[in-house]
Chain A
C-alpha cells in the first residue's frame, strides 16, 4: 500500500473501496431549525398505516428520499422525537405528507393514530440527509417493505409529477394486498410481493432473486442506482439479493428504519 500525501493537502480518500457517495448538499440551516407543522388532513392507507398532511409554511423544499425529524412535547416539557421519511413529492405548496405505521405501544406513532386530528400542531426540522435522496437523474431501482415504501413513493410521485423518462422500477413487499401501502396509486412501474397471503393464483413468499432477475436484466445503460428501505432484516435480505444478482455495492443505498 502506498503512503498517501493527502494529510497535508487536498482531502483524504481511504485506501478502501469507495463507499456510496452522498447525492446532494444538505442545507444545514433548514436541518437545524424547528418549525411548526399544522396537521391539515388524515388519510387512511391500510388498517395499520395512515398518511398525515401538514402545512409547513416555511418548508425549504426537499428531494424524494429525504426524511425529517419530528417532535411531540408533553405539558411537563417531556419531548419525544423520531425520524420520518417524506412521502410527498417536492412541490411549492408549503405542504408535506408523512405516512406512519401504527407501531404497537409506539409512543409517537400511537399519538398520531389515536389522538391527532386536523388543526393539531407539532414541530419538525429538515429535510435531513442527502444520502438516500434521488434528484430524478439516474435510473432508479427501488426495493421496499412495509412502511419502507414511504420514501420510495416520494420518488415514484416525483417521477410522475415531472413526467420524467429516466427508468424507475419499484419492487415492494407487503404481508398481504390489504397491507400494501399506496396500493391504489401504484402503477406499471411496480411489482408487489406478498409474504403472508394473497388471492388465489398470486404467489406468496419472500422476495427472491427471481423477482429481481427480470429487473436487472432490463438494466438501462449505465446501470441502476438501487435504493433499499425498510426494517433492518428486510434491508439485509434485499441488499444481499442485489449483490448476489450482480448489483455493485457502491450503487446500493440503504435506509434502515431501525
Chain B
C-alpha cells in the first residue's frame, strides 16, 4: 500500500452499499454527458427494440405510458467516483418491452442507443430479470433534460454510463459490440463492485 503523507481523508463511517473507490455525493447529482443536451420532447420521443427479436417494436410516449408502471428505488454509481443513495426512478421495466419483442435465442448482447447517437453495450442478461428500466420520472417529477429526459435507460447495478440518456432504442445482437465510452477506453461491462472502470481492469 502506497500511503500518502499527511492524507487522512474526510471523517468516515463505513458506508455499506458503497462500492470500492466510490464516495457518497449526497444531494449532488453531477452531469457528465459528453454531448450537447438535446431538445427531445415527449411528442418526439420513441423507443424501439429491434435486431435479434421475433417482432421488432416501436413505442411512442403514449404507448409506453400504457404499459404497467414499475419503479426503481436504490443506489446509482458513476465511474467518475460518485455514488448516490436512495434515488427513486419511475417508468416501465425493460422486461415488459423485451417480452413484447421476444428476443431470439441467439441474442446475447444489446447496444442501447440514444436520440443523440450515444451508445452503450450490455450483455442481455444485465437487462432482464427486473434489473433495468426505461424511466421518465425522478423523485416523482418528470426527468430533467440534462439527466436524460424525457426518458432514459436505468441499469443501476452497472456504472451509470451504461444507463443511456435520451434513450431511443435497443438493438439485440449475437455478440458484444463496444459503445461510445467502451470505444474510448472504458470497460465492456462496468460492474462497480469489481471496479471495472477502464478496459484494463
Which chain A residues have a beta carbon within 8 Å of chain B's beta carbons?
A: 1, 3-4, 6-8, 11-12, 14-20, 22, 26-29, 31-33, 36, 69, 71-75, 77-83, 107, 111, 115, 120-123, 125, 128-132, 232, 235-236, 239-240, 242-243, 249-250, 252-256, 258
Contacts and interface: CB of A to CB of B under 8 A. Distances in A.
Given A16-B113, A107-B9, A111-B4, A130 B174 contact: no
Contacts of B8: 74-75
A3 B113 CA distance: 15
B4 A120 contact: yes
Interface string B1-30: 111111111101000000001010000101
Q: Is the interface of B mostly helix, strand, loop or mixed?
A: loop
A127 to B, nearest CB: 9
A16 B184 contact: no
Given A7-B171, A249-B36, A19 B184 contact: no
Nearest to A235: B31
A77 B4 CA distance: 10
Contacts of B33: 254, 256
Given A16-B114, A19-B117, A20-B35, A83 B81 contact: yes
A92 to B, nearest CB: 22
Interface residues of B, number: 58
A148 B94 CA distance: 37
B10 A17 contact: no
Interface in B31-64: 31-38, 48, 50-52, 56, 58
B200 A31 contact: yes
A78 B1 contact: no
A232 B50 contact: no
Enumerate the 7 nearest inter-chain pairs by beta-carbon distance, A residue then B residue, closest first: A32-B200, A26-B185, A19-B117, A14-B113, A258-B30, A28-B199, A7-B51
A102 B195 CA distance: 28
A81 B169 contact: no
Question: In this complex, which of B8, B50, B56, B198 has the most chain A Cβ atoms within 10 angstroms of its Cβ?
Answer: B198
A8 B115 CA distance: 23
A6 B172 CA distance: 10
Contact of A26 (B5, B37, B58, B199): B199
B27 to A, nearest CB: 13
Given A111-B6, A236-B37, A16 B201 contact: no
Contacts of B80: 83, 258
A252 B30 contact: no
B118 interface: yes
A72 B9 contact: yes
A31 B171 contact: no
Contact of B116 (A19, A36, A256): A19
A77 B113 CA distance: 39
A7 B110 CA distance: 10
Interface of B: 1-10, 12, 21, 23, 28, 30-38, 48, 50-52, 56, 58, 80-82, 111, 113-119, 146, 168-169, 171-174, 177, 180-181, 183-185, 197-201
Question: In this complex, which of A7, A20, A129, A258 has the most chain B Cβ atoms within 10 angstroms of its Cβ?
Answer: A7
A14 B36 contact: no
B172 A132 contact: no
A27 B184 CA distance: 9
B3 A75 contact: yes
A71 B184 CA distance: 21
Contacts of B81: 81-83
A16 B199 contact: no
A19 B180 contact: yes
A258 B25 CA distance: 11
Contacts of B3: 73-75
A83 B37 CA distance: 22
Given A107-B9, A235-B31, 7 more contacts: A11-B177, A12-B177, A16-B117, A81-B81, A115-B5, A131-B34, A236-B146
A243 B199 contact: no
Contacts of B169: 14-15
B47 to A, nearest CB: 12
Contact of B34 (A11, A20, A111): A20
B33 to A, nearest CB: 7
